[in-house]
Amino acid sequence: MNIEPSGEAAEYGRQASRAFAAAGGDRLAPLAEAEPERRGALVEPVLRELGAWELRPRDDPDDLEAAAALCRSAGYRALAYPLAERLARPAGLGTDGLLVVDGPAPRAPVAGLDLRWTAVTLDGRRGEAVVRSGERSLDSAVVAELDVRPLDAAGAGDVALGLVLPCWTLLGMLDRALDLTRSHVLARHQFGEPLARRQGVRFQLADAEVERGGAEALAAYALWSVQSGRAEALDDALALRLAALEAAEAVFRTAHLLHGAMGFCDESPLSWVSRCSRPVRWLPLGLSATRDHLARRLGRHGLTGLFSEAAT
């Protein structure tokens, strides 16, 4: 078995990244936050041109890899648009996207978009999700409260993809945070030399890269698990989410610390990537909730993994 996404998918991701850069790049996130109603108009034409809406990730393995690569590029450029959610749309319901939700007060980063959403819980209960109008969130302008009208309980097969693709978005954000930090410690001189000359700095960056690399490997594995229609795809998706969230904590902590105060300011791309990562990291499940769900699902049987057949 080969869990590595194809070269074509990676190339598609690179093209997408260039297109997002040309469409505004780092200016997109501040614009989306300032006017969530405009963010669709900012990026949807580019996504259409990239053929995003023709991708059939649930039906076609190549399209699934392309979708993952696209999400990763969207994360890299901090697109502040629910691309993963749209690409995970369920079959046959005629809606524009899928939101995995948890708990009685569901929220999702879909404010300001005129789209129809299907919500699904981890145990596969689906519903029609409508953005609650009225009170607007005042800080994270892209997160909205949802009203969910129950539909059916046929969504168990929808969930894994709905969890895996946002992790690819997050992976792209981690790629970017590390790239930005690497550039910063090379360029920033203190004590007469680049910060990167300091072993304490290098060790931190190395640890963060190890975390990111682990999340990347699991992202490929979980994608392959979804692609292969494995029964444990949801376990793998939750395991990926857990690893990606832990990696995100480590990577952003290091990125912020090494950027210094500049990393918190609006003129710094890191500030925006970090800010855009928040809804992905906390919705629908934060770290503890992810760990809790995974532990309950796995019980004592553990993850299946790649080499279980050989082991038994």
Partner 1 sequence: MTGGMTGGGSAATPADLGAFRAHVRDWCRAHVPDGWRRAQTGVPDEEFVSFQRAWFQELRRAGFAVPHWPAEWGGGMPVAQQAVLYQELAAHDAPRLVLAFVAIHHAASTLLAAGTDAQRHAHLPAILDGEVWAQGFSEPDAGSDLAALRTSARREGGTYVVNGQKCWASGAAHADWCLLLARTDPAAPKRHGISYFLLDMRTPGIDVRPTRQATGESHFCEIFLDDVAVPAANLVGPENEGWRVAQRTLGAERGMTMLELAERLAHGGFRRLVDACARPGPGGARPLDDPLVLDRLAALETELTGLRALCAELVADDRPGPADASVAKLVYSELLQRLTDFAAEVAGPAAHTELRRPLSSGWESGAWVLDFVGSWEWTIPGGTSEIQRTIIGERGLGLPREPAGA
Distance CA 169, CA 86 (A): 12
User: Considering beta carbons, is residue 72 or 107 the nearer one to partner 1?
Assistant: 107
Is the backbone of residue 116 left (phi > 0), alpha (psi -120 to 50) or beta? beta
Q: Which residues contact 121 (CB under 8 A, 6 or more apart)?
A: 100, 101, 102, 155, 159
Number of Cβ within 10 Å of residue 91's Cβ equals 10
Q: How far apart are CA 41 and CA 47, in angstroms?
A: 10
CA 127, CA 191: separation in Å to the nearest integer?
A: 58
Closer to partner 1 by Cβ: residue 58 or 256: 256
φ/ψ (deg, to 5) at 255: -60, -45
Q: Which is nearer to partner 1, 2 or 199 (CB)?
A: 199
The contact set with partner 1 (CB under 8 A) reads: 102-107, 135, 137-140, 143-145, 189-193, 197-198, 200-201, 249, 253, 256-257, 260-261, 264-267, 271, 274-275, 278-279, 282-284, 286-289, 292
Least separation, in Å, of the C-beta of 236 and partner 1?
23
Minimum CB separation of residue 280 from partner 1 in Å reads 11
Report angle CA 199, 212, 11 to the nearest 5 degrees: 120
| Closest alpha carbon to 174 in 274, 90, 26 | 274
Minimum gap (Å) between residue 266 Cβ and partner 1: 5
- Minimum Å distance from CB 191 to partner 1? 4
Question: Cα separation of 234 and 225, whole Å?
Answer: 9
The nearest distance, CB 146 to partner 1, in angstroms, is 10
Instruction: Please say which residue, 100 or 160, places its beta carbon nearer to partner 1.
Output: 100
Q: Which is nearer to partner 1, 156 or 287 (CB)?
A: 287
- Cβ distance to partner 1 smaller for residue 168 or 252: 252
Instruction: Write out 83-100 in H/E/C secondary structure.
Output: HHHHHCCCCCCCCCEEEE
150 vs 286 by CB, closer to partner 1: 286
Q: Which of 217, 205, 201, 230 has the alpha carbon at shortest distance from 304?
A: 230
The Cα–Cα gap between 153 and 242 comes to 25
